[in-house]
Amino acid sequence: MYYCNMYFFKTKLRVRYAETDQMGFAYYGAYAQYYEVGRVELLRSIGISYKKVEKMGFALPVVNWNISYKKPAFYDDELTIKTIIKTPPSKTFVFDYEIYNKSKELLNFGQVTLMFINIKTKKTCNAPQAIVDSVKRKLT
């Protein structure tokens, strides 16, 4: 199904010293955590929390993570993480990302795919209808 709309949420954070490498750049692996911060805050903005998802009996492990780096971030840079959803979840939930510095320069972009897992059976399953409906309300 095609949705002409998308929903995005912006989150700000600062690069901490512990997240930098010997060159003074934000270490490439820190971006997985930055993306997670953006994802958690986007979900919270539509009334969904990971805690709530787990209480419903589901887990959301990452099954694919892609990123393209354009420019580095440095210690104490204020970053804006733009997290985007374009379609409602099904068995998977796909998030797109763009990270900008304070000068609004694009530093990187990426995509993360999560999969719904039933906690009791440890098997993949469809997204709960309540989550699908919450996302659809934002996309229309």
pTM of the complete model: 0.93
Domain ranges of the chain: 7-139
Which residues does the annotation mark as catalytic?
21
pLDDT tens, residue order, the chain (140 aa): 344 689 999 999 999 999 999 988 999 999 999 999 999 999 999 999 999 999 999 999 999 999 999 999 999 999 999 999 999 999 999 999 999 999 999 999 999 999 999 999 999 999 999 999 999 999 97
Region for 24 from its dihedrals, namely left if φ exceeds 0, alpha if ψ lies in -120 to 50, beta otherwise: left
CA torsion sign for 48, 51, 52, 56 is: positive
Q: Give the integer Cα–Cα distance in Å for 112 and 61.
A: 10
Q: Which CATH architecture has domain 7-139?
A: Roll (3.10)
CA torsion sign for 54, 131, 42, 118 is: positive
Q: Give the integer Cα–Cα distance in Å for 101 and 71.
A: 9
For residue 138, the tally of other CB atoms under 10 A from its CB is 18
